[in-house]
Amino acid sequence: MSSEPILRVEGLVKRFGGVVALNGVSLEVRRGEILGIIGPNGSGKTTLVNCVTGIYRPDFGRVYLLGEDITGEPPHLVASKGVARTWQKVRPFAKMTVLEAVMAGALLRTGDVEEARREAVNVLTMIGFPREKFDSPGRSISLVEHKLVDLARAVATRPKLLLVDEIVAGLRPHEVEAMVGVIRRVNKELGVTLGVIEHVMRFIVSISDRVVVLHEGRLIAEGPPSEVVQNPLVVEAYLGTRPM
Ligand code: ADP
Ligand code: MG
């Protein structure tokens, strides 16, 4: 196995008018790890995901996937090269069933509908989604179930890198706890490398191998979770924002 990081981002800059959402961000996601990416609201986390996945083209800087420069490539190409993401704002599907929504992920990789169906069943089972709801339409499932379906859809593409954007936002404490278990299984049992984006520190500390902290578009800290949360710069960045 090469020691090449799965993802390498160098000097990313992204502006929206006068707002500098990313101001020279460099980081790596290493093979097999769960990298926590935290920061207060508005610190540039989702913009980073959007620049890596091709939704936005960065103004400056490069994005490398396993050493290949993918900067500015369109979302479908980035996805086909093995980068999947989940959405901070769930995009509810009304008519499709749970199974069909997850099959859509598998169908990015295979044209065989039956194989996609098997893959969707496997992934939903692995993440503990209730089997009796596999054929439920989207309109009948809860927020946490939507988040699990979005995660399963992304996992069903069999990504090299999965970026999870604030998956526990809006969830109840016991649902957050369950999500920790689900993400760990995706990492350990399926061997998926993950970037987990959150502003809730507790969740990130319990799940990450390593953490980086964004503040006003810059990386202000990096290291083991227990150290990072005690870093005075990080504490200060979080003061006056929503509670940790
Ligand atoms: P986070 O995900 O950390 O909460 P974002 O990446 O969503 O932060 O936003 C970072 C900054 O960029 C914020 O000031 C936000 O208002 C701004 N921003 C993000 N996306 C857009 C956009 N499409 N148009 C204009 N401003 C944006
Ligand atoms: Mg965000």
Q: Are residues 170 and 76 in the same domain?
A: yes
Cα 166 to ligand 2 centre (Å): 7
Tokens of 146: 């939507």
Q: Are residues 237 and 151 in the same domain?
A: no
Q: Are residues 102 and 70 in the same domain?
A: no
Task: Output the domain CATH number for residue 73.
Answer: 3.40.50.300
Q: Among residues 133, 158, 183, which one ends one of the domains?
A: 158
Residues 6+ apart with CB under 8 A from 10: 26, 61, 62, 63, 64
Q: List strands edge to edge, sheet with 60-65.
A: 19-29, 7-16, 60-65, 68-69
Per-residue pLDDT tens digits for 119-160? 999 999 999 999 999 999 998 999 999 999 999 999 999 999
Which of 11-15, 60-64, 174-178 is predicted least confidently?
174-178
Give the ligand at the shortest distance from the Cα of 242. Answer: 1
Q: Are residues 130 and 168 in the same domain?
A: no
pLDDT of residue 79 exceeding 80, the answer is yes
Q: How many domains does the chain have?
A: 2
Q: Are residues 166 and 242 in the same domain?
A: yes
Q: Are residues 144 and 187 in the same domain?
A: no
Q: Are residues 34 and 60 in the same domain?
A: yes
Cα 180 to ligand 1 centre (Å): 26
Q: Is 41 in the pocket of ligand 1 (CB under 6 A)?
A: yes
Compute the average pLDDT of residues 206-230: 94
Per-residue pLDDT tens digits for 13-50? 999 999 999 999 999 999 999 999 999 999 999 999 99
Q: Are residues 62 and 168 in the same domain?
A: yes
DSSP code of residue 6: S
Cα 215 to ligand 2 centre (Å): 12
Q: Are residues 69 and 29 in the same domain?
A: yes
Residue 33: exposure state from Cβ atoms within 10 A (0-12, 13-18, ≥19): middle
CA distance 150 to 138: 11
Q: Are residues 172 and 138 in the same domain?
A: no
CA distance 172 to 77: 35
Q: Among residues 158, 173, 188, which one ends one of the domains?
A: 158
Q: Are residues 16 and 133 in the same domain?
A: no
Helices (H), the chain: 45-52, 75-80, 98-106, 113-126, 143-155, 173-190, 201-207, 225-228, 232-238
How do strand 193-198 and strand 161-165 relate by DSSP bridges? parallel
Q: Report the greatest alpha carbon distance in the chain.
A: 53
Parent domain of 168: 1-82+160-244
Q: Are residues 27 and 141 in the same domain?
A: no
Cα 134 to ligand 1 centre (Å): 35
Sequence-separated contacts (24+) of 67-71 with Cβ below 8 Å: 67/4, 67/8
Element containing residue 16 per DSSP (H, E) = strand 7-16
DSSP string, 49-76: HHHHTTSS--SEEEEEETTEE-TT--HH
Protein residue with its CA nearest to atom 12 in ligand 1: 21
Ligand 1 atom nearest 199 alpha carbon: 3
